C-alpha cells in the first residue's frame, strides 16, 4: 500500500512521436507521476522525463496486435489512485482524439475519481504540418473532419458514401485514422462522392525519424499504399489542402483531372 495520502489521475497526450512536441504541462505531469501507464505508440524518449522511482507499466493497444484489455487498464488506474498514487495515463497523440480517453474518464468518474486531461498534438495535424500543408485553408477547406477507419466489433462503422458527399459539398478535409487495413472499402465509398482526382496524403510514423509519406489522388490511393509499402500507424488526409504539400506537383493534379 502506498504511503501517499491522496491519489489522482492525469490523462496525458504524448503527441505524435517526436518527444520535442510534448507540451510543458505534459512534461510536468510525467515528472510528477508515481505510476505511468504507457501506450504502444508513445516514444520511449518521452519516458526520460519520468521520475527514476516511478513505476512504468506498458499497456499497449494496437489494431491487429495483442492488446491489453481495456477493462484491465481501467481497473489498474482506479486501484492505483485509490492506493494514493499519482497515475499518469500516457497516450500517443491526444487522449481525446481516438485515444479512448472519454471512456476512461467515464470509468474513473464512476469510481469517484476526478481526472485532469493534458492535450497533445494529434498525428493528423503533425503529419500534414511535416509536409508543409495545412488542414484548413480559406480557398480549399472550410473545416476538417477527424474520422476513424476502424469500427469496433458489431458497429457498422462510418458511412463513407455520405461522408464523401458532405465533404465535397461543404469543402471539408478528411483526416482518417486507422484506415490502412480497410483502405479498399474506404476508397470505394469516398469515390462515390468525391472526384477521383482529389488529392490525398498518407503519412506513416508522423514526426518521427522513420516517417514515410506518399502523395497521390483518391483513385490511385490503394495502389500507392501498396506500391510504397505503407503500413499502420498511418494517417490519410483527403482534400484539396494536400496541394499545399511541398512535394506536391501541380502537373500531377492536372494529369489526374484530364484522366477523370
Instruction: List active site positions.
Output: 39, 61, 178
Query: How far apart (Å, rounded) are the C-alpha atoms in residues 204 and 9?
Result: 31
Q: Which residue has the cell 484491465?
A: 72
Residue 145: phi, psi to the nearest 5?
-115, 120
| CA 256 remoteness from chain centre | 29
Residue pair 232/63 in contact by the 8 Å Cβ criterion: yes
Strands 199-204 and 234-238: antiparallel
Residue pair 157/125 in contact by the 8 Å Cβ criterion: no
Q: Which residue has the cell 485553408?
A: 137
Rg of the chain in Å (alpha carbons): 20
Residue 84: phi, psi to the nearest 5?
95, 10
Query: How far apart (Å, rounded) are the C-alpha atoms in residues 33 and 8?
Result: 9
Classify residue 6 by burial, with Cβ atoms within 10 Å: 0-12, 13-18, 19+. Answer: exposed
First to last CA, the chain: 67
162: how many CB neighbours lie within 10 A of its CB?
12
Q: What is the spatial order of strands in the sheet that 55-58 belongs to?
A: 55-58, 35-38, 86-91, 8-13, 115-118
Amino acid at each position: 500500500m502506498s504511503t501517499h495520502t491522496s491519489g489522482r489521475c492525469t490523462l496525458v497526450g504524448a503527441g505524435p512521436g517526436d518527444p520535442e512536441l510534448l507540451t510543458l504541462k505534459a512534461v510536468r505531469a510525467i515528472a510528477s507521476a508515481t505510476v505511468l501507464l504507457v501506450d504502444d505508440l508513445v516514444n520511449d524518449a518521452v519516458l526520460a522525463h519520468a521520475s527514476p522511482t516511478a513505476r512504468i507499466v506498458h499497456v499497449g493497444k494496437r489494431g491487429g496486435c495483442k492488446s491489453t484489455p481495456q477493462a484491465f487498464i481501467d481497473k489498474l488506474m482506479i486501484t492505483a489512485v485509490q492506493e494514493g498514487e499519482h497515475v499518469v495515463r500516457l497516450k500517443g497523440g491526444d487522449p481525446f482524439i481516438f485515444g479512448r480517453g472519454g471512456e476512461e474518464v467515464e470509468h474513473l468518474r464512476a469510481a469517484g475519481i476526478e481526472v485532469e486531461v493534458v492535450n497533445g498534438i494529434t498525428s493528423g495535424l503533425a503529419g500534414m504540418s511535416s509536409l508543409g500543408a495545412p488542414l484548413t485553408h480559406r480557398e480549399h477547406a472550410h473545416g476538417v473532419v477527424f474520422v476513424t477507419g476502424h469500427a469496433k466489433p458489431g458497429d457498422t462503422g462510418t458511412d463513407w458514401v455520405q461522408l464523401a458527399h458532405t465533404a465535397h459539398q461543404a469543402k471539408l478535409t478528411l483526416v482518417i485514422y486507422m484506415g490502412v487495413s480497410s483502405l479498399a472499402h474506404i476508397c470505394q465509398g469516398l469515390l462515390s462522392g468525391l472526384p477521383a482526382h482529389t488529392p490525398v496524403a498518407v503519412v506513416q510514423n508522423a514526426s518521427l525519424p522513420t516517417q514515410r509519406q506518399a502523395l497521390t489522388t483518391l483513385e490511385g490511393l490503394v495502389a500507392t499504399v501498396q506500391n510504397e509499402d505503407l503500413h499502420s500507424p498511418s494517417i490519410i488526409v483527403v482534400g484539396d489542402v494536400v496541394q499545399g504539400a511541398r512535394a506536391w506537383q501541380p502537373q500531377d493534379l492536372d494529369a489526374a483531372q484530364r484522366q477523370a
